[in-house]
A and B are shown apart, each in its own frame.
Chain A
Amino acid sequence: MFDWSILKPRLCLLCDQEINQKISWMSLLMQEQETPVCADCFTKFDPLRGELCQICSRVLSAEFRRGSLCLDCHRWEQDPDWQGFLTENRSLFHYNDYMKETIAKFKYRGDYAIAEVFSPLIKDALLTLAFDSVAVIPLSRERLLERGFNQAEALAITAGQTCIYPLARIHTEKQSKKSRRDRINLPQVFQITDPELVAGKKILLIDDIYTTGSTLRHAAKALKLAGATEIRSLTLAR
C-alpha cells in the first residue's frame, strides 16, 4: 500500500515543528534523504572552524598552542606514558549552551531519536577517516540500565555503523564529578574483553563529548596495548 505518511511534513527532531521542505514529484519518487532538523534549530549549533589542533580538533589560539597542537595535546604527547596512543580526534561542534541542552535531552532524558539529528554529519565525517572497525566508549552496567542505551552507540548505529565491543568499563563513578587532574591520573578505566577483535586493526572510537580527552586516551591506550595499530576518534562536540 502507498505510504501516505511521506506526504506529511516531517517534524523537526529538536523543536517538533514542521520542517518546511518543498514537496515535488521528484522528491516523492526518489524518496529523497530528508533533513531531520529545521534550519532554525540547526543554526544554533556552532561548528568547529578555523585552524584546529591536529590531534583533538580544538580551535587553536595564539597563547594556547605549540606548533600545530594545542597545549593540552602537546602535554599528552610529551608524556612517555601517553604519547602516540590517540592519532586523531575529530569533533564536529563546539560544546555551546544549545549543544549542552541537546546532549542532556539525548542522554539524560533518554531521547534516543536525537542521535538522528547528527547522523548525516557523522556519516560524512566517517568517509574522511581511516578505520577498519568502529567501537564505542562503553557505559558501566549501572549507567546502561539507568539510561536504557549507550549514547555513543546510538550515534554509531544511526549513522549506519556496525560496532565491535572490545572494551568494558572497570570504574563506575561519574566522569563529570571529577576534576581534570583526577581524570588523567586514574588507573586504567577500561579492560579489553576480546583482543582478537582489535589485533592488527585501525579502530575508530565514537563518543558524544570530548572534554579533557582522558576517556578516549585511556580507551586508545588499552586498545593499542591489545594490538590495535591506530586509534582515531569521532566525537560530536568538544
Chain B
Amino acid sequence: MISPHTTTPYSPHLQYHLSGRLLLAAEIPFPSELLTEHMQAGYVAAKVGVIRENGKYQCSRCSNRNQQLFYTFPCSLCQKNCTYCRSCIMMGRVSECTELYSWTGPELHFSIPPQVMAWDGTLSDGQKTASDRVIAAVEQNEEVLVWAVCGAGKTEVLFKGIDTAISNGKRVCICTPRTDVVLELAPRIRQAFPNMDVAALYGGSEDRHLAAPLTVSTTHQLYRFANAFDTIIIDEVDAFPYSMDISLQQAVQKAKKQTSSTIYLTATPSRQMQNAYRKGKLQAVTIPARYHRKLIPVPTMKWSGNWQKQFQKKKIPLQIQSWVHDRIERNIPILLFFPSIKVMKACLPLFQNIEPHLLAVHSEDPERKEKVTLLRNREVPGLLTTTILERGVTIPRLDVAVIGAEHQVFSESALVQIAGRVGRSADHPTGNITFFHYGKSEEMVKAVWHIENMNREASKRGLLDV
C-alpha cells in the first residue's frame, strides 16, 4: 500500500505553523477545510483537550491533574456538561469538546546559514570546561546540569553548544520561568546568532506564530509545543514557578523530542537536583568562579533583634539603620530585601526618613524595570524590594542587605542568589552583603556554606587570581 504522504500534497504554510506545536483551532489561522483535508491525509492529528481516566480529569495541553483545577459547565458548543482545565485557561479554554492539533506529516527543515554564530568572545577557563561539556551533551543527546555561580557568565557557555546543534540541523529552545529573563536573553541571543530567525515567546509576544530554529521562551509557552525540540536548555531551572509546578516540568518534557538533549542551568540547583548529581544520576559541570576571577563576597550575619516589633513601633533596628546610613553617606547604591510586600510597604516611610529618594519594588509593580534602571543610572540611592529582584539584576558597586533573613521565604537558594548581586563587575569585584536576623536559620547557614564552598573549589581549580 502506498502511504498517503506520498500521494497527497500538503500546505507548507500549515506545516510551518503546526510543526512541533499543540494548538487549539482558534490558534490556527487557516480555513477549517484545509485542516480537515490534512487530517484526512494523515498530516495533522487531533487530540481531545481534556481526557477522563478512572474518573480523573487530565489536561492534554498543560498536563494538569489537580482535580480542583477542573470545572464542569453547560457548554453551548457540545450541548453537554463539559469539563475544562482552569490551570491553563489564560491560553484559551481547553475542554472535553475541544481538540488540540499537531503536525504529523513530513518533518520541517529550517535552512541553515553558512555562518550560524557571530559571537567570537573568549571564555574563562571555567566557562570553557562547561562549554565543552554542553557541546558533548548536544552531540550525544544527554542531560547535563551546568551549575555556575552568579556572575560566572552562563549565557556565553551556551553559545558553542547552540552553534553545534543548529549546524547539525537541530531545533533548539532556551526556556526560563520568567518573562523578564526572556526579554533580556532574546536580544543577546539574536546578536550572537544574527543570520537566522530567533523566536521570543512569552504571554502576548508578537512572535507567537514564528517557527524558528532557535526559540527563547517562557516555560509557560511550552504548553503549546509537543515533540518539537532536539535541544532544550532550561535557564534558572530552580526559579519559581517552574520548580514548584509539576505541570510546567511536564510541559518541558512534552516539548522536546524523544531523542534530545537537555541542559539545566542555574547557580542554585534544588536539593533534589544536587542529590541526583551526588548520586551520579545527573551529570553536572560546575563553574565555581566568576568570569572576573575574584572571590564571591561571603555574607556577614548580623543579629538585629526583634525587627518585626521594632518596625511595628515605627523604628528601624539600630544595626540596620547604621548600615544604611553608612552606604548613603559613601554614595554606594543599595538593595534592601524584605520578606513580604506588606512588611516592605510598611517600612518604606521609615527608610525614607533616612533618605527620601529610596523607592520600593515588588512583583506587581508595573514600574519595576524603570526603577531598577534608575538605580543602575545612580538616579536613586537604593531600592527596597521583595525576592523578585533576587535574580538577573546587575548593578556596579552594589551593597545588599537582607532584612529578616531568617524568614522562610529566604531559602538557601534565594539567599545565594541575593548574595550573588554583589561584586559582579570586573571593576568592582567586592562589596558587602549582610543578613540581618533575629536568630539564624538553617537556610542562612547553608547559604554561607554554599558560597564558601564554591570559593574553595574555585581556588582549588586555579580559577581565581590571587
Spell out A's residues near B (CB within 8 Å): 5, 8, 10-11, 16, 105, 109-113, 144-145, 147-150, 154, 157
Question: Are A8 and B92 interface neighbours, CB within 8 A?
Answer: no
Taking a contact as CB atoms closer than 8 A, the residue among B68, B71, B75 that contacts A148 in the complex is: B75
13 residue pairs from A and B, CB less than 8 Å apart: A8-B68, A105-B90, A109-B93, A110-B89, A110-B92, A111-B71, A111-B89, A111-B93, A112-B71, A148-B82, A149-B73, A149-B75, A149-B76
The interface centre, meaning the residue of A8, A105, A109 with most chain B CB atoms within 10 A of its CB, is A109
Least distance between B362 CB and chain A CB atoms (Å): 14
Question: Are B76 and A144 interface neighbours, CB within 8 A?
Answer: yes
Q: How large is the interface on B (under 10, 10 to 19, 20 to 34, 35 or more residues)?
A: 10 to 19
Q: Is the interface of B mostly helix, strand, loop or mixed?
A: mixed
Interface string of B171-188 (1 = CB under 8 A from A): 000000000000000000
| Chain A residues near B77 (CB-CB < 8 A) | 145, 148
Taking a contact as CB atoms closer than 8 A, the residue among B76, B82, B86, B92 that contacts A113 in the complex is: B86
Spell out B's residues near A (CB within 8 Å): 67-69, 71, 73-77, 82, 84, 86, 89-90, 92-93, 95
Least distance between B195 CB and chain A CB atoms (Å): 38
A157 to B72, CA, bound (A): 13
Known: A148-B77, A148-B93; 16 extra A-B contacts, CB below 8 A, are A105-B89, A105-B90, A109-B90, A109-B93, A110-B84, A110-B89, A111-B86, A111-B89, A112-B71, A113-B71, A113-B73, A145-B76, A148-B95, A149-B74, A149-B76, A157-B74
A8 to B66, CA, bound (A): 12
| Chain B residues near A113 (CB-CB < 8 A) | 71, 73, 86
In the complex where A112-B84, A148-B76, A149-B76 touch, is A11 in contact with B69 (Cβ < 8 A)? yes
A150 to B93, CA, bound (A): 15
- Which partner residue on chain A sits nearest B92 by CB separation? A109
| Chain B residues near A111 (CB-CB < 8 A) | 71, 86, 89, 93
Question: Are B73 and A112 interface neighbours, CB within 8 A?
Answer: yes
A11 to B86, CA, bound (A): 12
- Which partner residue on chain B sits nearest A157 by CB separation? B74
Question: Are A110 and B86 interface neighbours, CB within 8 A?
Answer: no
Sorted nearest first, the 5 A-B pairs with minimum C-beta distance are A112-B73, A110-B93, A113-B71, A111-B89, A148-B77
| Chain B residues near A10 (CB-CB < 8 A) | 68
Least distance between B408 CB and chain A CB atoms (Å): 16
A147 to B26, CA, bound (A): 11
